[in-house]
Amino acid sequence: MKLRDMRRALDEKKISAPELAKEYLENINKYDEKLECYITVTADKAAAQAEKAQEIINKGEAKALTGIPLAIKDNICTEGVRTTCASRILENFVPPYNATVMEKLEHQNIVMLGKTSMDEFAMGGSTQTSAFKKTKNPYNVNCVPGGSSGGSAAVVAADLAPAALGSDTGGSIRQPSAFCGVTGIKPTYSRVSRYGLVAFASSLDQIGPIAKDSHDCAILLNAICGFDPHDGTSSVNEVPDFTAKIGKPVKGMKIALPKEFFADGIDSEVRDAVLKAADEYKAMGAELVECSMPSLKYAVPCYYLLACAEAASNLSRYDGIKYGHRAKGADSYEELVIRSRSEGFGEEVKRRILLGNYCLSSGYYDAYYRKALALRQLIRKEYDDIFENCDVILTPTTPTVAYSPEITADPVQMYQADICTVTVNIAGLPAVSTPCGYDKNGMPIGLSIIGRKFDEQTVLQISDAYEQGFTPVAPKL
């Protein structure tokens, strides 16, 4: 069932919140050993929350998400529940506070099923850098689910949760949504508070929902958006009803197709599926506009310079002293820091810290980091130019479908796979990924709809319009 179907069923007493939670917990017990989606399953907490939610439903005071089971990515702080970021350095960290998004969800009396696996500190595109659970793709367990929110996308695809929260720094909601055949939206930067989200790259990170379709994503967005005084970058813009435009026609709207997103390097089956979706929009009355985004060829190095520089700064707090893993037997402060970080961080995290410190160091700052900042402004301008004439931009979400874990051994190849998603984070724009087809092996293909800043309503309207004529195929577990 979709979230809105669950809402009706709960309110009409066709099912109770405890029964609904029990069904999902039984699915987790049955399939999660095979898929490795959850790092922590909070069965006792879910049962208690479901009982409380049912009392509220019985009083007729239910909100949109009251009694709805959800999964939470393991880099979002949950008071009293272990939050590991899939890293040994935070293996036993139990936050003493909730992230703002969790406060908002608990105010609605959701039922938390557990914390989902991810790439360590959200660094990766496969969920294979996790120190604890290397999540499998529900459509083919020999393929990756994408990342870094691979656990969150996989639980939705496999019906181990009806929806989940993820985070997106360079495509980490949209790419796994594409690989797992579900819908995920990265909101405008600052639309959702980052307070309580363990930082990777502070100018790029954004929390967002993953669900069965755009309408469900809109329902979740309604619950988690809004200004937060705890987050200095949080937007004061009024939060609209993100479901308001769902179902409205797209006739007369202009959809841009930047030629660089359909060039060499994009798998032919992916390109054909997305262009077929574009033709369907044309049949609905939308106008397709060809355009160009020349800076795309510089997007990946620009993104990784910015993200790694910020990661090196953010992760400097893990020194083995304040909290997190502390090495034993160190004879000096310097040895304690070195050993704690060496033992606690995985290879990919170490690689990005080294790259970040390198590009920020004396003699290289101007050559690399300053140029990346200039490129960021160029990318933003190119998007602004396109949006002067068009309502949204249509691209593939990923260059290929989900691949085998062996490919993750080549970091450069992995980084290049982010080519279709990173510019959205660099520019701070909203974007949704929704399935638009399947390749010859039955693996999902995702299309991406990119919108103007703070125009999530239009992005969700246009993605929903396509979903109305598309029948998704569920994975066979």
What domain range includes position 184? 3-251+429-467
Report the C-alpha gap between 270 and 47 in whole angstroms.
42
Helix segments in 59-213, DSSP class H: 100-107, 150-157, 174-180
Beta-carbon contacts of 211 under 8 Å, excluding residues fewer than 6 positions away, are 2, 3, 156, 162, 163, 164, 182, 183, 184, 217, 219, 220
Which residues are marked as active site?
73, 148, 172
Residue 347 located in a structural domain? no
Distance CA 179, CA 208 (A): 17
In a domain, 329, yes or no: no
Residue 10 lies in a domain: yes
Domain count, the chain: 1
pTM exceeds 0.85, yes or no: yes
- Residue 160 maps to a domain: yes
Q: Is 82 helix (H, G, I), strand (E, B) or coil?
A: coil
- In-domain check, residue 212: yes
In a domain? residue 18: yes
Residue 185: predicted pLDDT: 98
Could you tell me the mean pLDDT of each successive run of 10 residues in the chain, 477 residues long? Answer: 97 97 98 98 98 98 98 98 98 97 98 98 97 98 97 98 98 98 98 98 98 98 98 96 97 98 95 98 98 96 97 96 93 96 97 96 92 97 98 98 90 91 98 98 98 98 98 94
Instruction: Give the CATH number, domain containing residue 102.
Output: 3.90.1300.10
- Answer whether residue 311 is part of any domain: no
Residue 322 is predicted with a pLDDT of 87
Tokens of 252: 């007369």
Bin 67: left if φ > 0, else alpha if -120 < ψ < 50, else beta.
left
Query: Which residue(s) pair with 451 in the sheet?
Result: 392
Contact 197, 75 (CB under 8 A): yes
- 307 found inside a domain: no
